[in-house]
Amino acid sequence: METSHEQCYRVRVPAKVNLALCVGGLADDGYHPLGTVFHAIGLYDDVIARPAPAGVTEISVTGEGVEDVPTDERNLAWKAARLLAETHGHGDLGVRLTIRKQVPVAGGMAGGSADAAAALLACSMLWDLDTGPDELHELAAQLGSDVPFALVGGNAIGRGRGDELVPLLSRGTYHWVLALAHGGLSTPAVYRRFDELGGEHSTDIPDEVLNALAVGDVRALADAMRNDLQPAALDLRPELAETLEVGRSRGALGGIVSGSGPSCAFLAASESDAMDLASALSRLPQVRATRRASGPVPGAKPIG
């Protein structure tokens, strides 16, 4: 039974978009080498950790897409809690996790990875474990390719599976409109279709993306954004092509499928342009909802 005096540790964690997602050919380990530029945006999940008796792991989920989120050991936040406890030699440490979702589920915005990153931090505080940044990164990388970035946020280059990070300084604030689709896309399925489509592969991040970020040139960034998974996502969900076209024709400076999709991310020149764009996109039948967010924002952080 909960009491109002119960300890409770709350962590807020952002979604990401990939400003560049340059994908190499399938490697022997079943993954694709990446050169990517992550950008954290102000669309958040909150993960709350509360005490539970030894041996108990419980997850409850509220908000965006709850019906599609497992509340057992398939949930990446569950895996994060168990991995942290086992690593510290206390496999039976108990926790009750509550996840408040705003980040779309299976939307290409790393929502599940974000929850895992937040669960690592929240459980570390709840159990009073001394978990340094290097250890957190190491555990995060074991949980998934996008989890380490959710810890740091901001902008970062990701190499390897996306887990080898180098922070990137940037100028300016970027205004985004997200067009959320009905249903999600499975990341492995999108990578499989990428393999089937074939073609030349390169993990070279375009200099134009890095230069645009360095000087804060939003138009140059919009022109330079690149997502090698986009053809595969469009092949699986052809209606996304129209979403991208309408976004561009209704004032977006540029638009791409976010990560493995199906969310589409549009860069707007200003907050007021973003509002007009969101209202135009929300009239499309294939658009379930729109969100506005700006970036970059910091990674997972404890909140009061």
Measured from the CB atom, the residue of 110 and 181 that comes closer to ligand C5P is 110
Among 22, 34, 156, 253, binds ligand C5P (CB under 6 A): 34
Measured from the CB atom, the residue of 203 and 243 that comes closer to ligand C5P is 203
DSSP string, 115-166: HHHHHHHHHHHHTT----HHHHHHHHHHH-TTHHHHHHBSEEEEEETTTEEE
Measured from the CB atom, the residue of 24 and 42 that comes closer to ligand C5P is 24
Whether 25 has a binding-site annotation, put simply, is no
Helices 111-126 and 133-143 meet at what angle, rounded to 10? Answer: 140
**Interface with ligand C5P in residues 171-190 (CB under 6 A):** 187-188
Measured from the CB atom, the residue of 14 and 254 that comes closer to ligand C5P is 14
Amino acid at 288: R
Provide the 10 A C-beta neighbour count for residue 271. 11
Dihedral, CA atoms, 124, 129, 130, 133, nearest 10 degrees?
A: -20
Among 191, 240, 277, 296, binds ligand C5P (CB under 6 A): 191
d(CA 266, CA 254): 6
Whether 110 has a binding-site annotation, put simply, is yes
Q: Does residue 87 sit in helix, strand or coil?
A: helix
Contact flags string 207-236 toward ligand C5P, x per CB under 6 A: ------------------------------
Binding to ligand C5P by residue 38, rule CB under 6 A?
no
Whether 199 has a binding-site annotation, put simply, is no
Among 32, 96, 101, 237, binds ligand C5P (CB under 6 A): 32
Which of 243, 203, 285, 284 shows the shortest CA–CA distance to 108?
243
Contact flags string 131-150 toward ligand C5P, x per CB under 6 A: -------------xxx----
Instruction: Show which residues are catalytic.
Output: 16, 146
Task: State in angstroms the smallest separation of the CB of 266 from ligand C5P.
Answer: 24
Task: State in angstroms the smallest separation of the CB of 6 from ligand C5P.
Answer: 33
Task: State in angstroms the smallest separation of the CB of 187 from ligand C5P.
Answer: 4
**Contact residues for 15 (Cβ-Cβ < 8 A; gap 6+):** 40, 41, 43, 44, 45, 103, 104, 109, 110, 111, 114, 293
Whether 259 has a binding-site annotation, put simply, is no
Output the six-digit token pair for 65.
Answer: 């897409």
Whether 106 has a binding-site annotation, put simply, is yes
Beta strands at 287-295 and 301-303: parallel, antiparallel or unpaired: unpaired
Q: Do residues 131 and 302 make contact, with C-beta atoms less than 8 angstroms apart?
A: no
Task: State in angstroms the smallest separation of the CB of 140 from ligand C5P.
Answer: 11
- Chain residues binding ligand C5P by CB under 6 A are 31-32, 34, 144-146, 161-162, 187-188, 191
Residues belonging to the binding site for ATP are 104-114
